[in-house]
Structure 1
Amino acid sequence: MNTSLPFLTAICCTLFSCTATVAVQEKDVPISLAYHEAKEEQAPLLSTLVSNIDYIALETIDATLGDYFYLTLLDEYIIADTSTGCHLFNLKNGKYIRTIGMIGDQSPMGYSTCTDPPYAVKNEILLKGFDKKFKVFSINEGKLLKTLPGEEDLKSDLMYDVIFPLNDSTMLLYSNNLLGVNKYNLQVRTYEGHILKEFPSTNCFQKKQNILCKMANEGEFYSYNNDVYMHEFTSDTIFQIDKELNLHPYYILDLKGALPAPDCREMNNWKSHYVIFGDIVETDRYLILERSSFYSYGCIYDKMLKKTIRINREKENNGFINDIDGVFPFWPQSRGRGTSSNKVWQMVSAESFLKYANSKNRKLFQKTIHEEDNPIVIIGTIKEEE
């Protein structure tokens, strides 16, 4: 998830409470992370996570300047969601290839925003149109291919906040429940728009105040071993979504009293001890949960040691200790897709890279960069466990 700073919004309306539970089918016993018992420690060595590391500087030209929000790594490309458009770069050298569509333009090639995260499957990428439909563009050629059903079938007044591929033909669409009244918050549909299943909201609440605290995204999704997993910020459980579209408890965070209550969206109900995580990455060795803008600590669960530790992510660039080349500490934001699914990546601003990279070892990175340049993408190949 692209976690951003929270903001306040005043909403004056009368809302009604609703309660619902997701029907969860029991499978294997979930693993407890025992987070409430975890201690703050130094992060593991990077060599226990990845076998090698590459530094890809995204080419900086007038067409590619802007704020960079999120990336998707594909077989041959890096797709960047930015304030100036959806830009395509070469995965190996960071060279700019093309801009897909025209952000903010009302023409046939125009679109309103990119999806979060960028939704790219095979040679196609979905962008949000102005008519609540999805526009499908060719990644290889940048051409508009077709239009697909979008938010017009959503059973609430809210937009889809997260769109994530379950597989090449099926997508997950998730809607934040800021006002606490969503009947449904998760929909499974085919790529062409046929609804397969909807899950009732589990975190409704009765609004009593006018000041709400908006989370960036209330639901996080990630892929691991060809399966997709989901976590909601008010849930103590990470669920696996199986091939029959059932939810199975996979991990229990065990946050105890630090688990946010649904009404914490109201500012007066927010507690400083609540724990909210951001991006989630899983490998054969680790489960890694990033901090959010509401909380300082990330979390690493070591499957081999069966141990959970806390990492103070508020400290500048406090991540896996880079014992591979010593250039820059590493904290994975996501895994790639397709043939890049064996890679994890981190996006670092050029300014931060120049400020915190090891000045001696940085010479290994043969690229002249400036503070105002586009980000550096640090890509690691996930280490295979023996």
Structure 2
Amino acid sequence: MNIKYIGALMSILLSLSLQAKDKALVIDMTKAKVGDIPLSKFVSKLEYIPLELTKESLLKEPSIFLTDRYIITTEFAGKICLFDRKNGKYIRRLSQEGGGPDDYAHLMTNCTLDKERNVFYVDIWRKWRGIDIETNKCVNEVVKPEYRYIKEMRFQQKINNLCLYKDSLYLGFANDEQVNDHCALYVFNKNGEVLKVIDNGLQAPTFKSSRSSCYNAGWFQEVGGNLYFSGASDNDTIYLVGEERLIPSIAFHFNETLGKKYETGKFDFGADDVEMVRRYKKGFLSYWRIFQMDRYIFFACSEWEGLSSNISFSNYYDKRSKQLYSCKREGERCGFVNDIDGLGTFFMEQLDGNKLVGLLMPEELLDYMETHKDVKLSPTGKKVLENLQFDDNPIVVIATLKE
């Protein structure tokens, strides 16, 4: 075959390969099957771990992290607690708020768990501090790029979360809307030195505060050795993080009824205090808690009407059947129905391997049982409800997914 034709063929194949790589999976929200979604549809087993309540471990609405041995809870502007992974017994505080060498500043930003090294990263204003879970001692500190370059006034966008990257490097979503008109990912080392900027081409959020601030932390998830990123809750695309650019991986499709529609207007919060805010029309969907794995994609939506009124509902997409399922919109929070043990509604918090992790809030569960007296409880469900009080700590629910 003529070498010229071989070259042309190679060029065409490379072009097709790049097109296939850039082709995102489209999830059409208009084609969802809407209704009650039973957990038994995609869950094979449920595990319940009540978190022990003590004077030291009183929790309100915690975020949770799992290791093989521990459950770690954090609270906004609160504390970090360590519980036994098997029985939920309270062990101790993880680090403490303060100015010491092993302390953290106020828990105002996202924490990061390095599962492989058993290190938990917390914010200390100019740095992130890595606390060894076993010893409660600082074993690593990572300088924030904005402080590394403060004299040069470069890379001054704020990063509200720390993502562990390859080769002992770190990744952060730099999206300070007062500093720049677009967002980007910074790749940097522990000294805060920026080695690469991956510009995602996205505009900064429309919302503008009167002060420089980090509007959204962004979202990272590793699946099958690949790192994925989504910029904000109102972004309709999930990207694969490439070496030089972000590659669209999952895109959510809307129509006029279920659309990303908003308008910018003025809202008066008081005399001479007028700020630009988002005023959502009915039908605006925001996305959060997006978890993907080989077979399933789980995500939660909020459908907005007005400035603060919204309905939150859970969804999942089955890649095998190419079908999207959405929970029926009834009430303010609509989750998956626990038909396995009869214990109310399951709201997902995170994905841990092949397990969806959620929290059962005792007050919500007992209210549910009061209004659903005819629900069929399994022996496990009855045991969970034994001696349960309204003001108890949350119950961690671990749902093992079907293959």
Structure 1 length normalisation: TM-score? 0.77
CA RMSD, 1 decimal: 3.5
- In the superposition, relative to structure 1, how do residues 183 and 209 fare at CA in structure 2: closer, same or farther (>3 Å)? closer
Counterpart among 324, 329, 333 of residue 345 in structure 2? 329
1:239 partner amino acid: Y
Distance between the aligned counterparts of 1:144 and 1:203, measured in 2?
36
> Which residue does the alignment assign to 1:378?
397
Query: Is 2:301 the counterpart of 1:291?
Result: yes
Counterpart among 323, 343, 346 of residue 355 in structure 2? 343
SS at match of 1:288: strand
> Which residue does the alignment assign to 1:238?
238
Distance between the aligned counterparts of 2:206 and 2:355, measured in 1?
43
| Matched pairs, number | 351
Per-residue CA deviation, residues 154-187 of structure 1 (Å, 9 max, x unaligned), is 7555532233334583433124444483554322
Per-residue CA deviation, residues 229-284 of structure 1 (Å, 9 max, x unaligned), is 22234543211224x36422111212355235796994256433321111111233
Per-residue CA deviation, residues 206-249 of structure 1 (Å, 9 max, x unaligned), is 9898789x99736232333332222234543211224x364221
- In the superposition, relative to structure 1, how do residues 208 and 373 fare at CA in structure 2: closer, same or farther (>3 Å)? closer
> Which residue does the alignment assign to 2:4?
none
Q: Is the 8 A contact 1:73 1:335 kept in 2?
A: no
Query: Is 2:123 the counterpart of 1:128?
Result: yes
1:1-386 matches, within 5 Å, as 26=19, 27=21, 29-35=23-29, 37-39=30-32, 41-82=34-75, 83-103=77-97, 105-114=98-107, 115-121=109-115, 122-130=117-125, 132-151=126-145, 152-153=147-148, 155=154, 157-166=156-165, 169-179=168-178, 181-182=180-181, 184-190=183-189, 193-200=192-199, 202-204=201-203, 217=216, 219-233=218-232, 234-242=234-242, 244=243, 246-256=245-255, 258-259=259-260, 266-267=276-277, 270-292=280-302, 294=304, 295-296=310-311, 297-312=313-328, 315=331, 318-336=334-352, 341-357=353-369, 360-361=377-378, 362-365=381-384, 368-384=387-403
Q: Is the 8 A contact 1:187 1:199 kept in 2?
A: yes
SS at match of 2:56: helix
Distance between the aligned counterparts of 2:278 and 2:333, measured in 1?
32
Report percent identity of matched pairs: 25
The structure whose Rg is larger is 2
Residue segments in structure 2 that go unaligned for 5+ positions in a row: 1-17, 266-274, 305-309, 370-374
Residue segments in structure 1 that go unaligned for 5+ positions in a row: 1-24
Q: Is the 8 A contact 1:180 1:204 kept in 2?
A: no
1:186 partner amino acid: L
1:372 partner amino acid: D
> Which residue does the alignment assign to 1:11?
none
- In the superposition, relative to structure 1, how do residues 75 and 216 fare at CA in structure 2: closer, same or farther (>3 Å)? farther
1:29 partner amino acid: K
